[in-house]
């Protein structure tokens, strides 16, 4: 057998190259690209993948969870309210009720792990260490048709290296407070009148509902969820309460499902 003639080092490399290439050939065109593996992005990915869409999340760090991991001021607990109990159950996240405050409390580490597992088990692919640095656009009418990718390590190195592309029927900005995809679109896509109002100071109750209400489509092919919604529409921040992140992720999934089915 040929395998017997190859060293273990050769076989390790060959297996990784071959299977990585297979994945990337499949990812050249997807239904939905989610930018950012934070709470809103992973929630959106699970519900879309469950509906049968081909979904990929690109995350520039080598970890899951975005802002979940820091909890509230590095304390390992976060809170949600009763609107997301069904979502927590669907992701199999454990929680306890704080009766004095009428809130539910959970471990940040568990939420990170289970949101990731839920998205992956539903069929979404999460790829780490990739920075979405630009988008693909088309004109008449202006629409977003995918993302432009670079290794985070290359971005950090400052080397000039040309990127690669993933075409996508829908791109979701789930990049959190910085709304990175929306910023690129506002700056670089001709004919788009997109102005980011910028996130406002804390007003948790107001923000928790407004982020969900304003979640949705920004342009044909471009959607926004999570704290990027606040950055776009000038909504307040809410701190370490995560109900609106999960609800926003679920809502954007429902909106994309409707749009993709209508355009099929
Ligand atoms: O920031 P993040 O957790 O976004 P989110 O889903 O949730 C916000 C909350 O965590 C919290 C809050 C609400 O209680 O205020 O902050 O809106 O996750 C965003 C993820 O996107 C990645 C980033 O590393 C993080 O994991 N990310 C950001 N820009 C890019 C990116 C990019 N250009 N390419 C790839 N990943």
State the distance from the centre of ligand 1 to the C-alpha of 181, rounded, in angstroms.
11
C-alpha distances in Å from residue 60, one per residue of 31, 80, 234: 20, 26, 25
Question: Atom 29, ligand 1: which residue's CA is nearest?
Answer: 175
Q: Using CA positions, which residue lies closest to atom 10 of ligand 1?
A: 67
Looking at the domain assignment, is residue 22 inside a domain?
A: no
Specify the ligand 1 atom closest to the Cα of 64: 26
Q: Report the C-alpha gap between 108 and 75 in whole angstroms.
A: 9
pLDDT class of 2 with cuts at 50, 70, 90: low
Residue 79 resides in a domain: no
Pocket test for ligand 1, best of 40, 41, 57, 67 (most atoms within 8 A of CB): 67
Q: What is the largest CA-CA distance in the chain?
A: 68
**Assigned domain for 252 exists:** yes
CA distances from 213 to 205, 207, 208, 229, 233 (A): 13, 10, 9, 9, 11
Return the best residue to mutate from 40, 173, 175, 210 for the ligand 1 pocket (most ligand atoms within 8 A of CB).
Answer: 175
Distance between CA atoms of residues 24 and 44, nearest Å:
22
Atom of ligand 1 minimally distant from the CA of 63: 26
Residue among 200, 206, 203, 155 nearest 177 (CA): 200
234 lies in some domain: yes
In-domain check, residue 15: no
Tell me the DSSP string of 167-181: EEEEEEE--GGG-HH
Atom of ligand 1 nearest to the CA of 249: 6
Residues with CB under 6 A from ligand 1: 35-41, 58-61, 66-68, 131-132, 174-176, 180, 226-227, 237-238, 240, 242, 245
Residue nearest ligand 1's atom 28 by CA: 175
Between the CA of residue 148 and those of 54, 100, 103, 173, 184, what are the distances in Å?
Answer: 18, 48, 40, 13, 11
pLDDT surpassing 90 at residue 262: yes
CA 36 to centroid of ligand 1, rounded, Å = 5
* Strand segments (E) across the chain: 29-35, 55-59, 77-80, 96-98, 103-107, 125-128, 130-138, 143-151, 164-173, 200-202, 216-219, 222-224, 236-237
Q: Is residue 99 included in any domain, yes or no? A: no
Residue 131, in any domain of the structure: yes
Rounded CA-CA distance 221/244 in Å is 23
Total domains in the chain come to 1
What pLDDT is stored for residue 90 in this prediction? 98
Terminal alpha carbon distance of the chain: 47
128 pLDDT exceeds 90?
yes
Mean pLDDT of the chain: 97
What pLDDT is recorded for position 4? Answer: 76
The residue assigned the tokens 């509906």 is: 51
Region 28-57 average pLDDT: 98
CATH of residue 34's domain is 3.50.50.60
Domain range holding 256? 28-65+113-263
State mean pLDDT over 131-140.
97
> Is residue 76 in some structural domain?
no
**Residue-wise pLDDT tens digits, 137-193:** 999 999 999 999 999 999 999 999 999 999 999 999 999 999 999 999 999 999 999
What is the rounded distance in angstroms from the CA atom of residue 252 to the CA atom of residue 250?
6
Residue 112 Cα to chain centre, angstroms:
13
């Amino acid at each position: 057998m040929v395998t017997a003639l190859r060293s273990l080092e050769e076989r390790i490399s060959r297996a990784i190259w071959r299977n990585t290439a297979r994945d990337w050939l499949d990812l050249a065109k997807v239904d939905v690209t989610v930018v950012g593996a934070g709470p809103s992005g992973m929630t959106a990915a699970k519900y879309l993948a469950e509906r049968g869409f081909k979904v990929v999340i690109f995350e520039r760090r080598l970890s899951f969870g975005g802002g979940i991991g820091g909890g509230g001021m590095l304390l390992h607990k976060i809170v949600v309210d009763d609107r997301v109990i069904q979502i927590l159950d669907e992701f199999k996240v454990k929680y306890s009720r704080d009766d004095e405050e009428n809130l539910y409390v959970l471990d940040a580490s568990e939420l990170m792990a289970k949101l990731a597992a839920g998205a992956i088990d539903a069929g979404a692919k999460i790829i780490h260490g990739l920075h979405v640095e630009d988008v693909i656009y088309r004109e008449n009418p202006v629409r977003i048709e995918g993302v432009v990718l670079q290794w985070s390590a290359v971005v950090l190195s400052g080397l000039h290296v040309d990127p690669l592309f993933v075409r996508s029927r829908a791109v979701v900005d789930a990049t959190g407070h910085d709304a990175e995809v929306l910023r690129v679109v506002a700056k670089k896509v001709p004919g788009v009148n997109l102005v980011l109002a910028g996130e406002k100071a804390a007003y948790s109750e107001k923000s928790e509902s407004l982020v969900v209400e304003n979640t949705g489509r920004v342009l044909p092919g471009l959607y926004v969820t999570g704290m990027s919604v606040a950055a776009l529409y000038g909504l307040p921040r809410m701190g370490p309460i995560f109900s609106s992140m999960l609800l926003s992720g679920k809502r954007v999934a429902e909106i994309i499902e409707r749009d993709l089915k209508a355009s099929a």
